[in-house]
A and B are shown apart, each in its own frame.
Chain A
Amino acid sequence: MFEQIHEQTLLLLPFGDIVHYLSGYTVILAAFAVMFLLLALVSLPERPIDIVFGTDGYYIKEIPVDIMKFQRFMALACGISTIGAITTGDIFNFTLFAIFIGILNIGIVAAVENKHVLDAAFSYGLVVMMATIPLFAGAATIIATCGTLSIGELVDTDATPLIAKLLILIGVFGEGMAPFYIGKTEITRAPGAPYILMIHVSSLLLFLRTIEIFLTV
């Protein structure tokens, strides 16, 4: 069943050997990413309100304009690289986009001036840097054994080694921070809703795309 995903391409966008494609599955992911990209482009950041318990007092957290601009730039770049990771038809290019998403997630939270958030972002940054090793190792294993990196050709060889998939999976775990919800909750305490939420969206879509790749190749 899943072998047909790659054959039913709705759109082919070749950049030399790296052919971007949209299948019936990834077009939904891409539409979701585009929707969130437009949302981050047009919306202003949230202004969280803390109510003092038992009184009428409250605080409004204002986001300074320079931090807002930086976060918006990083969120837009993260959305674009998410679209790239969703549509790419090449394993090595996919790993590069995954690493790009990890770096940009760090950038989104780096602008926040909150000690807890920055501590969590530092730990997450170490994980992101470590995750590049299994990602590149997985892509290198695939090019060394199968002789090609294109997903369309790997479907035909039908013998992608399991350990390469395992390495890419653990790498995407690190980049997308998926099993580390403890890190995520610390990070998303940061104010700045539409931009911070791009972290969730990009890692979620990266995972769904990884599932598609693993079921295809």
Chain B
Amino acid sequence: MTRIQRIADYLANIDNLPKIYATVSCLIFLICLCTIPLLNYHETQLYPKSFNPNSSLNPYDRGGFPFTEPAHIITQYPQYSPASGYVTAYLTPVSWFLANTTEHLGTTIVGHPGGILDEILYYTRGLDTIVEASIFFAAFAVASFLYRRSKK
């Protein structure tokens, strides 16, 4: 076999597909890692990276009072999310108790009932959350279909 035939023979085997893809991905990742110092950082960042270390709600302490005074929510297009900021400050009784007794409530966003309703996650970028949940749903649908078929 010539060299090109050997390469074509290797590529024709479907079992080698993940290996080839992983190798190509690793090469591209290496190139990207080497060029990271060349990236230029834009000063106009949508989400500034700063928080108040004294608050027990950090990094989700955005101020405001639930349903009356809107919290400070940064949005890309404020005209498309007019009601932003009214829910973020709401805490369930359990979360309110935890916020007053511990220092780390903000780090347990889903670890307790209620939690902090992050409006960037659920409102201004809410479609992302919906699509993520749909991906899980589709994956579980496939897995349950295959499991039930294997039991027949």
A contact residues, total (Cβ < 8 Å): 59
- B12 in contact with A182 (CB, 8 Å): yes
- B126 in contact with A15 (CB, 8 Å): yes
Classify chain B: how many residues form its interface, as a range. 35 or more
Known: A110-B146, A159-B42. A100 touches B138 (CB 8 A): yes
> Which residues in A have their C-beta under 8 angstroms from that of B77?
14, 16-17, 19, 150
Instruction: Give residues of chain B (53-93) contacting chain A, Cβ–Cβ below 8 Å.
Output: 75-77, 80-81
Instruction: Give residues of chain A (101-116) contacting chain B, Cβ–Cβ below 8 Å.
Output: 103-104, 106-107, 110-111
Contact with B along A80-111 (1 / 0, CB 8 A): 01001000001011001101100110110011
- Is B25 among interface residues, defined by CB-CB distance under 8 A? yes
Known: A93-B128, A100-B131, A134-B28. A16 touches B123 (CB 8 A): yes
- A93 in contact with B17 (CB, 8 Å): no
> Which residues in A have their C-beta under 8 angstroms from that of B42?
145-147, 157, 159
Known: A17-B75, A134-B29, A147-B44. A123 touches B127 (CB 8 A): no
- A107 in contact with B142 (CB, 8 Å): yes
> Which residues in A have their C-beta under 8 angstroms from that of B7?
none
Chain A interface mostly = helix
- B142 in contact with A110 (CB, 8 Å): yes
Instruction: Give residues of chain B (93-141) contacting chain A, Cβ–Cβ below 8 Å.
Output: 123-128, 131-132, 134-135, 138-139, 141
8 A-B residue pairs with Cβ-Cβ distance under 8 Å, sorted by A, are A90-B128, A103-B142, A107-B142, A123-B14, A127-B17, A130-B22, A145-B42, A180-B21
Q: Which residues of B contact A (CB under 8 A)?
A: 11-12, 14-15, 17-18, 21-22, 24-25, 28-29, 31-32, 35-36, 39-47, 75-77, 80-81, 123-128, 131-132, 134-135, 138-139, 141-142, 145-146
Q: Which residues of A contact B (CB under 8 A)?
A: 14-19, 70, 73-74, 77, 81, 84, 90, 92-93, 96-97, 99-100, 103-104, 106-107, 110-111, 119-120, 123-124, 126-127, 130-131, 133-134, 137, 141, 143-150, 153, 157, 159, 161, 163, 166-167, 170, 173-174, 180, 182-183, 186
